[in-house]
Structure 1
Amino acid sequence: MKLTLAFLLLSAAPALAFPVTVQSCDRQVTFDAAPAKAISNDVNLTEMMLVLGLRDRMIGYTGISGWKTLDPEMRKGVAELPELAAKYPTKEVLAGAEPDFFFAGWNYGMKVGGEVTPETLAPLGIQTYELTESCIHIGPKEKSSMQDMYNDILNLGTIFGVDAKAEELVEGYKTRLAEITAGVDRSAPLRVFVYDSGEAAPFTAGRYAMPTALIEAAGGVNIMDDLEKSWAEIAWEPVVERNPEVIVIVNYGDVTAEQKIAFMKDNPAFASIDAVKNDRFVVLDYIEATPGPRNIAAVEKLVAGFKVD
């Protein structure tokens, strides 16, 4: 009888928890009930929804096939869910799908001053939760940390009434991260550069982008952590001057990781860079380098890549 009662109380808890309020960048957003017709943008945000068991609360996703490919795990996760837009969705596309929730971010499906924002979607009955990493685009934010990803998982748990699942996931991530980084020597952090894309000028991760947190967790330092941006295009000169010992390649899109590595190794301008001389490259898939459940695996890759044989 006690077990039955406990089960009933646990089952009823989500329904009794509403309304709930979460912080979304500079806004407090209140939900009177858990969303039932959600749309997520981008592969990493979509995976956050999936690991929380929210597949049945989704009516589609956006912003994946235009730039990235789905691995077998993700293809299975979104099976039968329609991709409503290959890149950023328009307001018309979202209105036509009639969702009640949009999980996106600034430069993750929304643009400052664009047609799709929390303010433009609200009159359509669509509530929006913004990716924590992206908040720097609309106001002050703390330096990137692993807490950014934990925060989003926990807030989604609150929004959808699956707090216990969210807390279990985050505790598991923290435990695994502690195991992975237990032997990391932080006395002399390796200098690391993140190469996302671009040949004439590189697109890289700054102070507020997730790779900065991943690199620091693995015992390195992002050579561009004084760049007061999340992701941005810079010049090659500071990369050469700051002489990274390891280069992290973000793998996605039409230019493969192998091609990016070859570009750096074959270019005389980069011949003096320690990472190039010593062939020290670590490849992270886009879904690992952006906020999401695979950040823990990304740190594990970096820890292994930072070790000198």
Structure 2
Amino acid sequence: MTISRRRQLTATSFALSTVLVLSACGADVDNSGADTTVTVNRCGEEVEYTTPRRAAVYEGGSADKMFALGLTDHVHGYVMPPANPPVSESPWADEYGKVEFLGDDLLNRELVVDAGADFVVAGWNSGFSDSRGITPEILDTLGIQSFMHTESCYNYPGFPERTTPIEGLYTDLERLGRIFGAEDRARTLVADYRERVAAVQRQAPEGNPVPVFLYDSGTDRPFTAAKQVPPNDIIRLAGGRNIFGELDERWTEVSWEAVVEAQPEIIIILDYGDTSADEKIAFLRGNPTTAKLPAVVENNFFVLAYNEGISSPRNIDGVEKFAEYLRDYAAEH
């Protein structure tokens, strides 16, 4: 097998066609100018929201959720850190072009205040941060509303909320739909995503799940995906087994010895940052510790796009693409 960008056209085309159909329908959003107040859960805390008009969104996952819901008119701008691939690669590239680019640094309070934002969408420890002084509580004191990705609430202090990452995606779409009066659009999206995932599960290979290792980064010690992040669900729903899926954590550092002991048959490469997917694969091939892993020996590498690996509507694309790769693998073995 070769690096898996092959046979992804079908799944990608289907995903894009769904996006276009939903975009053509438009979101049923109240744009009359009247403010509506609703109470919505934010990481275990009930929060009262007034319809935002100038949202600032951090990273591709936040922006894509808003755009998928047809809420471009409510987005003032986006902050895109360097690790995030170009927005031109997004199914919502046209929507990015309609809002302001606010910066390519980590999210910070000054940026949000200078932008005149009345609403911020980000994840905990991915955008919001105690150490950088931008948390929902701090923004509350400034009169700026905020929304946290449910998937990231797992380790949010004070208001823990536990759900599987894909269910967290559905929850986010439903909650954002309530905040912006786009409940119908949210229900349509979630129903479509659930059916696409169910279709994948119906086609999952029979037998024992194939052991899969996600390689994010790291040479001395690998950084990988544990139970509480989207790639674990991508692997699980497609019919595989994340070798670190029993770790009740999010993104985490492990040992090469643990990877070797698990003998992964497929390695997922998370594609982002200054080190390319090809360079990561070359490292695994050249590293004596990993060179004899079954996945490396058989050249079973699947490349997962960054925005398919963080909480985003594109998680569904990731499930479909990896499921197709896994079915091909099972058919050949």
TM-score by length of 1: 0.90
Alignment match, 2:193: 173
**TM-superposed deviation, 1:301:** 1.3
What letter matches 2:245 in structure 1? D
Alignment match, 1:35: 52
The reply on whether 1:249 has 2:249 as its aligned counterpart is no
**TM-superposed deviation, 1:172:** 0.7
**TM-superposed deviation, 1:112:** 3.6
What letter matches 2:138 in structure 1? T
Any residues of structure 2 matched to 1:15-164 within 5 Å, and which? 18-31=36-49, 33-65=50-82, 67-72=84-89, 73-139=91-157, 140-142=160-162, 144-164=164-184
Alignment match, 1:230: 250
**TM-superposed deviation, 1:300:** 1.2
Distance 1:233 1:71, change over 3 A: farther
Query: What SS does structure 2 have at the residue aligned with 1:254?
Result: coil
Distance of 1:92 and 1:274 partners within structure 2:
49
Distance of 2:29 and 2:305 partners within structure 1:
37
8 Å CA contact retained: 2:151, 2:163 = no
**TM-superposed deviation, 1:202:** 1.4
Deviations 1:10-35 (A, max 9, x none): 8879999943111111321111x311
Structure 2, unmatched stretches of 5+, are 1-27
Distance 1:36 1:16, change over 3 A: closer
What letter matches 1:142 in structure 2? R
Distance of 1:231 and 1:279 partners within structure 2:
25
**TM-superposed deviation, 1:179:** 2.0
**TM-superposed deviation, 1:68:** 3.0
Alignment match, 2:234: 214
Any residues of structure 2 matched to 1:271-286 within 5 Å, and which? 271-286=291-306
Alignment match, 1:6: none
What letter matches 2:77 in structure 1? G
Structure 1, unmatched stretches of 5+, are 1-9
Query: What SS does structure 2 have at the residue aligned with 1:53?
Result: coil
Deviation larger for 269-278 or 127-136: 269-278
Distance of 1:106 and 1:170 partners within structure 2:
23
Query: What SS does structure 2 have at the residue aligned with 1:269?
Result: coil
Distance of 1:107 and 1:201 partners within structure 2:
21
Distance of 1:12 and 1:82 partners within structure 2:
22
8 Å CA contact retained: 1:281, 1:305 = no
Alignment match, 1:291: 311
Query: What SS does structure 1 have at the residue aligned with 2:40?
Result: strand
8 Å CA contact retained: 1:66, 1:86 = no
Distance of 1:186 and 1:124 partners within structure 2:
54
After superposition, the CA RMSD in angstroms is 2.2
What letter matches 1:101 in structure 2? F
8 Å CA contact retained: 2:256, 2:289 = no
Among candidates 265, 285, 302, match of residue 322 of structure 2: 302
Tell me the percent identity: 35
Number of matched pairs: 299
8 Å CA contact retained: 1:201, 1:233 = yes
What letter matches 1:58 in structure 2? V
Distance of 1:289 and 1:35 partners within structure 2:
28
8 Å CA contact retained: 1:63, 1:109 = no
Query: What SS does structure 2 have at the residue aligned with 1:293?
Result: coil
Query: What SS does structure 2 have at the residue aligned with 1:191?
Result: strand
Distance of 1:56 and 1:158 partners within structure 2:
16
What letter matches 1:216 in structure 2? R
Distance 1:80 1:236, change over 3 A: same
